[in-house]
Amino acid sequence: MTHRILLMGVSGSGKTTVGLQLAGALGIPFLDADDFHPPANVAKMRSGVPLTDEDRAPWLAILAGKLRETPGCVLACSALKDAYRQVLVEAVPDLKVFFLDGSPDLIRQRLEGRAGHFMPASLLESQFSTLEAPKNAIRLDIAEPVDTIVARILFHL
C-alpha cells in the first residue's frame, strides 16, 4: 500500500530527520518542502524576514503538484496554517497528516545547534505565532527519540 504523508511543524521540529527515516522504512521517496522554495523566499528567510501568505502561495502550489504526481511519498513541510494544509489536502484527499510538536525551548536549542540551514533561530517566534495547530492530524511529541516517533507513525498507518 502506498501512502502520501505530510510531516508538519515549525522549523527545527525534526521533519527532515523523521521524514528520511520514515521514507526509508516505507521504501518511498522523501520530499523536503524547503527544496522547492523559490530563491526569493530563501533569501527573505536567510535575512530574517518571515514569509507572507503571498510568498508561500506559489510554493504550496508546487508542493501540491509534487504530491499529486508522486503516488507514495513523505513530504516534510511546515504547513503552519490550516489554509496551507488545505491546499495540500485538496490536491491529495488521502494525505495523512502528522504534527511534530514540541516546546519552543527544545526547538530553539535544536535551531541554534543546526548548521547550514537558511532558517535562523530568530524566526522561531514568528513560526509559533503563525502556527495553527491542526485538528485532523496525529500529534507526535518531538522530545521522544526519532525511532519512537517513526514507530508511532508506522503504527498509525
pLDDT in tens, 62-103: 999 999 999 899 999 999 999 999 999 999 999 999 999 998
Alpha carbon 120 to its chain's center: 16
List beta partners, residue 138: 98
End-to-end alpha-carbon separation of the chain, Å?
10
Residue 116 scores a pLDDT above 60: no
Residue 8 scores a pLDDT above 90: yes
What 3-state DSSP class applies to 96?
A: strand
At 94 the pLDDT is 94
* CATH topology (fold) of 4-156: Rossmann fold (3.40.50)
**Cell representation of residue 86:** 488545505
The structural domains of the chain, with segments of one domain joined by +, span 4-156
